[in-house]
Chain A
Amino acid sequence: MTAQNQDTPKIAVSALHKRFGKNQVLAGIDLEAGRGKSLAIIGGSGSGKSVLLKCILGLIKPDSGSIKIDGRETTGLSGTAREEILAKVGMLFQGAALFDSMTVWENVAFGLMQAHGVSAKPAREKALAAMAKVGLEADLADINPAELSGGMQKRVGLARAIAPEPEILFFDEPTTGLDPIMAGIINELIIERVQELGATAVTITHDMKSARRIADTIAMIYQGRIIWCGPADDIDHCGNPHVEQFIKAKSEGPIALDVLRA
């Protein structure tokens, strides 16, 4: 790889705007995720972090602004070009979003079989390997995901995201709705798997414990803008009253709670 390639950020978002009706959800987001680094985007409910993630993935079309992945503009892409970008990406959804019409191993192997054209037998082998990496026994392979607990479903979702060995991993509220022990386990799994793959990770969360544990860099989003971005270790003395209110979970402060969801 050339030096220029090493320098280009894996993901570069600039001046990103998105509004739904009268609701300006993203009002000029500028954000970069470094190659092989882990970025956490924190922010309250309705602050626009899910919309930002969906814009980067191409699930929502932004009104204006630029999103570059590996230096390539992705906002106008569709069809095969979009699928090329998505083939580099893995995503763990908040509710795991497992396909309930398929067994656990078929879920994990889905990306391999559909996007990468792996045939069923080697795909199952790879799926079982990915499951083992997130601590799932092979005897769970043939059951329906609906029979699993929330934490176990998250593990299957993680296995599905890492199975095609993506270059970028997205995590949408990975610890929300889990008990503290399972949340800790999921955090550890995310760190291990991201490091092993050498992938760039982007996590959106409002769980500060998780953000501190997972991230190299933390960015805080508020009212559709990034109001602070810096190394995870600096967040405690960043001097930004919004960030302080958020990380210290204070009810009094400059942040007024939004009522409507973004």
Chain B
Amino acid sequence: MISRWNFLAVIGRIFIAFLTSTGHLILFTATALRHVVLPPFFLRITFQQIVRIGYFSLPVVGMTAIFTGAVLALQIYIGGSRFNAEGFVGQVVVISMVRELGPVLAALMLAGRVSSAIAAEIGTMRVTEQIDALTTLATNPFKYLVAPRLIAATLTLPMLVLVADIIGVMGGFLASTQRLGLNAGIYMKSTIDVLELEDVTSGLTKAAVFGFLIALMGCYHGYNSKGGAQGVGAATTDAVVSASILILLFNYVLTDFFFS
């Protein structure tokens, strides 16, 4: 009897802890959004963050895209050849790249590269009292640290994904023409013909949401980190893990939304 109640108590505790942290996160997000919208804006810092988050992520995103596009072409060719659909490689590569793999893979790479960096930086600032110092110098840390990163990530991820889309399609093109011996002209024409504007815009909308989530998770876990080096380490891990999970979750939600 007692063990059963203990079991229920454990579930209760987990549930309450879940609600508490969800509430914390929602309050954090609301405060952050208020500072994103309301002046003053730190334009120079936002620009620095755009360069750090966007520009310096280009090599990682580009590499991911080109190999994914190329692999996709090979796999679709193998699968397609089982029912004589080899000709559809170009179409399937571009649709899956632009609608799905471009945004998701770029976002997951950035969750590893950017979320962790933001969490480590802000977390270190928290444990070394630099965030308190900001406050005592009459500067709101949400305005100075969180808002610029949120704006930068939300703006730059769609641009990175656009680049990833193009490079991914190029990867598919190279694998198809060089390895599979498909005709280059036909491949390009079928790619361009099948692509619709909504494919691109839905992918870029996803990217903006993912960018926001990446920066939000980095800032949230960094801002709330405590307990020295170990706390910063934990914050970094939590940021990457939660950003990745939220990306996959919102990917489904958004896909479902565009689907209907």
Contacts and interface: CB of A to CB of B under 8 A. Distances in A.
B130 A97 contact: yes
A140 interface: no
A54 B138 contact: no
Given A97-B133, A99-B133, A86 B128 contact: no
Given A95-B128, A97-B128, A83 B138 contact: yes
B133 A91 contact: yes
B177 interface: no
A97 B140 contact: no
Interface in A201-253: none
A110 B137 contact: yes
Interface string A87-113: 101110111011110000000001100
Number of chain B interface residues as a range: 10 to 19
Contact of B138 (A87, A100, A170): A87
Name the prevailing secondary structure of the B interface residues: helix
A87 B140 CA distance: 12
Contacts of A115: 137-139
Interface residues of A, number: 24
B136 A90 contact: yes
Contacts of A57: 132, 135-136
A51 to B, nearest CB: 12
B129 interface: yes
B135 A86 contact: yes
A110 B138 CA distance: 10
Contact of A111 (B125, B132, B138): B138
Contact of A89 (B128, B129, B136, B144): B136
Interface of A: 54, 57-59, 83, 86-87, 89-91, 93-95, 97-100, 110-111, 114-115, 160, 164, 170
16 contacts: A59-B132, A83-B140, A90-B136, A94-B129, A97-B128, A97-B129, A97-B132, A98-B130, A98-B133, A99-B133, A100-B130, A111-B137, A114-B139, A114-B144, A115-B138, A164-B137
Which 7 pairs across A and B sit closest by C-beta, in order of nearness? A115-B138, A97-B129, A97-B133, A111-B137, A91-B136, A86-B138, A114-B139
